[in-house]
Structures are given as C-alpha cells and as structure tokens.
C-alpha cells in the first residue's frame, strides 16, 4: 500500500509516524511546501523575544530523521498542486526547480493546515508588515528586527498570537500599540474576563485601542478609522486564520459548515480513500456535538495520530474537543475550556454564571491569585465552560475543569473531587471546590448570584435595590459599588431588620465569600430576593473601569 501525506507539520508527521508504527510494509511519502517540518509553531513568539535561544530548537526533526527512524520519505519545498481522486493521482511541483511530476496513492492523508488572513487594509504589502503563522514568517520577522531595530510596533488583532507577540516585543523594549476591531481584547473570552487582560496590558505601558479599525498602514504609522495615527515602523497583522481547503475543494471533497473539511471520527473524508487531519478539518464539540473549528497544536497532533491509525486499519476514533487552551501574558496565565457565557446563550442555554477569586495556595505560603468564571446550564446543572485569569495555579485548575467537562460533570460534582492538597500546592478547599460550592448553591440551594452587568442593568432601569457592602468600613471608603450602604458582616443581623425584605437585595465583599455569608443571614431573616454579587467588589470594579474606558 502506498500512503501519501500532504503537509508535514504537526498533523502530517504524526499521521505518517503512526501509519509506520502500524504497518512496516507500506510505502509512505510526505510532501511539504515549506522548508521546515514538524516544527513548534506555538514557540515562535518565545524565539522572537529571545527566551528560546536557537530557532533550531523549534524544528528539531528534519526529513533525514523521518527517513532514518520511520522509513518515511519527506520531500520539503514540494507543493501538491493537483489532486485527482478518481485516478488517485497527485500533481506535485518541486518549488526549487519548478519541475512538475505526477505521483499516485492508495490512501491519501490531507494535512494542509490553516493560513493567516488579513482584513482589507491599505499598505499590507509593505516590507515592515508581517503575519506570524509559519516558520518562515518567524525568521523574516527576526531578521527585520535585527536589521531595522524598530522604534515602535502596532499589533492588529488581540488573540493568542497578538498577545503573545505583545509580550515578546515588550521584552525587546519596543513600544507597542494593540488595535482590536471588537470592543474587547481576547475576543474568544467573555468581556468580564477580558477586562483583567486589558488592565494587565495597560499596566505594562501597552496602548490598547478597542473598537478601532485599521484603515491604512504607512511607512511609520497605522491610521485608524477615527483619525488617530498610531506610530509603527513594525506591524504585525494577527487577525485570525482560516482552514486551507483549496485542494480539497477542487477535488470535490465535502466541506463542513465551519469552512473546514468534513471528516468522520476516523478522519475519513467524503472519499473513502482520502483522510484529513489537523487545522484543515472540521471537528465537533465533545460537549454539544456541534461542528467547531479549533486550530490548536494539541488537536492537530491528536487527529494526525488517528488518521495514521485509521488509514492502516486501526480502531482509534476522535472523541471531540472542548477548545481547551492556555497562554502566558507577563505574569498572567489565561486559560479557557468549553463554552463561554456568550456562546452558551447563543446556543439557547439558560445559564448560571459565577466568578470565584481565590488564592492558588494557603495564605501562609507564597503564591498568586486567580479569578475563575464558570458557566453552567440552569436546567441540568451541567458545567458548560470555564475561563481563568491569574498569576498562579491556572494550568492545574483549567485541566481539572476540562477533565470534568469531558465527563459531563454537574457543578455539584466539583465540590466532591478528591484533589491533591499540601500548602505549597493548593488550599484545603481548592478553587475548583469553591466553583462547585458556589454554583451548587446558586442552582440548587437558593443562594443566587448576580453579575456586575446584571446589577448595573437593574440600577439603570431604576429598580429600588438594597446594596450592602459587608466589608470593613476602611475598605468601603477606598472604593464601593454605587449607592451601596456600609454594613459590615458582623453588624448585619441587627441592621437588616430596618431594610425592606421584599426589595432586591445584593450583598458583596471583596471576592464573594463574606458576601455569601451575609446572603445566608438575609435569607434566614426572611429576605425574598437576596443575591450575592458574583466575584465581589473586585470583579465589579474591573468591569466598571473597563466600561468607563470604552
């Protein structure tokens, strides 16, 4: 059997390696249009900042490695320009010589990945304007920075690559501006979590322009639609990627509703002898079963392995994805899994939302804090998704939550997880436990939450509200929710007797714990509509400050 693979980055090389492990007799040939194969695209920003010293660390395997270790022939700088499924033939162009030749296959694996897209901005063709998708992009950016020593930079787009590159350029002492067309940075997260990211960027002196559209790039500026002129003699366009499906379309393969190649759980396309994997395929959510497209390195490797197994008669099958991801921004870790609140509501879920602000370790051990936003289905109590922003312990918690999502856990299950504890690593009640306790209280025990946005909406409508600040008076004096009364927790039992019990009543503290205790007092005292402010005054303040800036 002759197996041909198109593409030799994460998915393609994983497919070829797995196919060889399963079948020693098969002929396996791989065509890759780039010079580099099997590279770590996720590491490119860290090379550009100097954190990764050698570019070769990101592409440690070459064609000779695969020939010697796997008996797989990889041909770099060879682009497949034609695919004829009926005859099972490929037209291949040698990009070094221009020669075109024909090849054939018994089974084909398409791993053509994705490509960077750019909005219609005048001046994109200039030499100081870049995208960052492939290893060649990274090397070109590095050469430009070394030769030109740019004095200012603009990053158009604020997704993963945009923010990681902001950190990298900041380490090179290049002043940076981030330009984002949408009203918030990190558009794949909910706004009430993105506010923490924007605040951290601004603390580092990075200018952030949200709700702004770049109209033109000149030699040393980016011109915005509102007339602002942003200094920039280096411009990175990081406005997203699309699946590379042109070859599949020309061959008549089915394309899914996300614009990527439709495949089954065995990575088989609409042609029984053609498989596809990696960033060019449509995936499905393991939570909802609906089609999704997540161009992530983890998923590319996973689907590549499945394709290589299936094409050689194996039984591996794809179980879906949650879109679990994490990134670093200075001292912040930013992570998410499952559905955002926005996505869940668009799908028709009636959602319950909580914000938990907790330390990663016990108070007497050094460590940072994190804010966890959890989203659950009010009807079933099932956890739907989580987002975390914090300086410590984020990776552990997002993986725990992703695992519980994979097994369709309910929020009440989180409190009972048997998680590891020792003071250097966690708290006796882990932040994940608190997510379960708070959301179980909101969904099943009458301890309902109100978000900053919901409270603001009620206030704007003129509803009469008892807002109770349960902190110490000195904390209230520093900052407090508008129209809140200072009634410390220890004085609430007596003071609440003078309040109207049928009125909407909201309690809060710094992060939510004491606010919940106060809420319990009110409920026991006969208050009918007692809510605790989700995430406390700290979350409310972050959302309000971001709203004022916008």
Element (H, E) at 335: strand 332-338
pLDDT tens digits for range 41-69: 999 999 999 999 999 999 989 999 999 99
Distances from the Cα of 499 to the Cα of 126, 456, 495, angstroms: 66, 21, 8
Q: List the CATH code of the domain at 2-41+56-113+242-310.
A: 3.50.50.60
Compute the average pLDDT of residues 239-264. Answer: 97
Q: Is 187:161 a contact under the CB 8 Å cutoff?
A: no
* In the predicted structure, residue 547 carries a pLDDT above the cut 80: no
Rounded mean pLDDT of the chain? 96
Architecture of the CATH domain 325-444: 3-Layer(bba) Sandwich (3.50)
C-alpha–C-alpha distance, residues 288 and 414, integer Å: 20
546 pLDDT exceeds 80? no
- Distances in Å between the alpha carbon of 139 and those of 55, 115, 125, 148, 398? 8, 17, 18, 14, 33
219: how many CB neighbours lie within 10 A of its CB? 10
Domain 129-239, second-level architecture: 3-Layer(bba) Sandwich (3.50)
CA pair distance 75, 77, nearest whole angstrom: 7
Percent of the chain with pLDDT over 90: 98
pLDDT band at 544 (very low <50, low <70, confident <90, very high): confident
- What's the confidence (pLDDT) of residue 549? 62
pLDDT tens digit sequence for 2-33: 999 999 999 999 999 999 999 999 999 999 99
Q: Reply yes or no on whether the pLDDT at 550 is more than 70.
A: no
Q: Which of 172, 146, 174, 181 is nearest to 235 (CA)?
A: 174
CB within 8 Å of 436: residues ≥ 6 apart: 411, 412, 413, 414, 415, 416, 417
- Residue 293 sits at the vertex; the CA angle it makes with 291 and 297, to the nearest 5 degrees, is 135
CATH 3.40.250.10 positions along the chain are 449-549
CATH hierarchy code of domain 449-549: 3.40.250.10
Return the percentage of the chain with pLDDT > 70, whole number.
Answer: 99
- Tens digits of residue pLDDT in 86-109: 999 999 999 999 999 999 999 999
Is residue 346 pLDDT above 60, yes or no?
A: yes
pLDDT at 207: 98
Q: Give the strands of the sheet with 100-104, arranged side by side.
A: 78-84, 89-94, 100-104
Give the residue-averaged pLDDT of 445-460.
Answer: 94
Give 548's pLDDT tier (boundaries 50, 70, 90).
low
pLDDT of the residue at 3: 98
Which three-class secondary structure state does DSSP give residue 519? helix
pLDDT tens figures, 191-237: 999 999 999 999 999 999 999 999 999 999 999 999 999 999 999 99
Locate 428 and state its tokens.
């006796």
- What mean pLDDT do residues 255-274 have? 98
C-alpha count within 13 angstroms, C-beta hemisphere, residue 391: 9
For 102, 135, 303, 315, 414, the CA distances from 271, given in Å and listed in that order, are 20, 31, 18, 19, 43
Contact 328, 316 (CB under 8 A): no
- Confidence class for position 425, pLDDT limits 50, 70, 90: very high
What does the pLDDT average to over 396-416?
96
In the chain, residues under CATH classification 3.50.50.60 are 2-41+56-113+242-310, 129-239, 325-444
Nearest CA among 18, 332, 325, 62 for reference residue 202: 332
Q: pLDDT per residue over 117-150, tens digit each?
A: 999 999 999 999 999 999 999 999 999 999 999 9
255 forms beta bridges with: 261
Task: Evaluate if residue 377 carries a pLDDT over 80.
Answer: yes
- Per-residue pLDDT reduced to its tens digit, 267-317: 999 999 999 999 999 999 999 999 999 999 999 999 999 999 999 999 999
Tokens 């060879």 belong to residue = 78
Q: What is the pLDDT of residue 134?
A: 94
């Amino acid at each position: 059997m002759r197996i041909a693979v198109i593409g030799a980055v994460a998915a393609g090389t994983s497919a070829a390696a797995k196919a060889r492990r399963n079948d020693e007799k098969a002929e396996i040939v791989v065509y890759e249009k780039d010079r580099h194969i099997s590279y770590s695209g996720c590491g490119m920003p860290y090379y550009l900042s100097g954190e990764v010293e050698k570019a070769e660390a990101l592409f440690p395997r070459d064609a000779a490695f695969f020939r010697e270790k796997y008996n797989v022939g990889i041909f770099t700088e060879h682009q497949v320009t034609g695919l004829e499924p009926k005859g099972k033939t490929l037209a291949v162009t040698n990009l070094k010589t221009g020669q075109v030749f024909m090849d054939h296959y018994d089974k084909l694996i398409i791993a053509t990945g994705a490509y960077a897209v750019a909005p219609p901005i005048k001046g994109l063709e200039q030499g100081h304007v870049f995208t960052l998708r492939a290893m060649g992009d990274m090397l070109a950016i590095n050469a430009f920075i070394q030769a030109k020593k740019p004095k200012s930079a603009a990053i158009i787009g604020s997704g993963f690559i945009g923010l990681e590159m902001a950190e990298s350029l900041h380490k090179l002492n290049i002043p940076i501006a981030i330009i984002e067309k949408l009203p918030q940075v990190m558009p794949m997260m909910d706004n009430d979590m993105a506010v923490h990211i924007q605040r951290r960027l601004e603390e580092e002196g990075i200018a952030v322009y949200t709700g702004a559209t770049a109209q033109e790039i000149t030699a040393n500026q980016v011109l915005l639609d509102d007339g602002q002129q942003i200094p920039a003699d280096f411009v990175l366009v990081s406005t997203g990627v699309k699946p590379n499906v042109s070859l599949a379309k020309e061959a008549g393969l089915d394309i899914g509703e996300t614009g990527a190649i439709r495949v089954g759980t065995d990575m088989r396309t609409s042609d029984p002898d053609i498989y596809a994997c990696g960033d060019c395929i449509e995936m499905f959510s393991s939570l909802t079963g609906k089609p999704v497209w997540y161009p992530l390195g983890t998923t590319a490797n996973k689907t590549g392995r499945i394709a290589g197994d299936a094409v050689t008669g194996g039984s591996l099958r794809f179980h879906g994805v949650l879109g679990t991801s994490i990134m670093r921004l200075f001292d912040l870790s930013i992570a998410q899994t499952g559905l955002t609140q926005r996505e869940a509501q668009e799908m028709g879920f009636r959602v319950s939302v909580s914000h938990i602000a907790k330390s990663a370790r016990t108070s007497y051990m050094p460590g940072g804090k994190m804010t966890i936003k959890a989203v659950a289905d009010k009807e079933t109590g099932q956890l739907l998704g989580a987002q975390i922003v914090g300086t410590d312990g984020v990776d552990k918690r997002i993986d725990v939550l992703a695992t519980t999502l994979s097994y369709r856990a309910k929020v009440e299950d989180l409190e009972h997880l048997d998680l590891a504890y020792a003071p250097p690593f966690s708290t006796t009640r882990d932040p994940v436990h608190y997510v379960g306790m708070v959301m179980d209280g909101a969904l099943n025990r009458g301890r309902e939450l109100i978000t900053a946005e919901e409270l603001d909406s009620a206030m704007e409508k003129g509803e009469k509200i008892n807002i109770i600040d349960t902190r110490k008076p000195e904390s209230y004096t520093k900052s407090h929710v508008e129209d809140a009364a200072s009634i410390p927790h220890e004085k609430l039992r007596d003071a609440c007797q003078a309040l109207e019990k049928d009125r909407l009543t909201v309690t809060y503290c710094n992060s939510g714990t004491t606010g919940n205790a106060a809420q319990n007092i009110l409920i026991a005292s006969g208050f009918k509509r007692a809510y605790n402010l989700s995430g406390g005054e700290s979350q409310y303040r972050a959302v309000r400050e971001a709203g004022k800036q916008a």
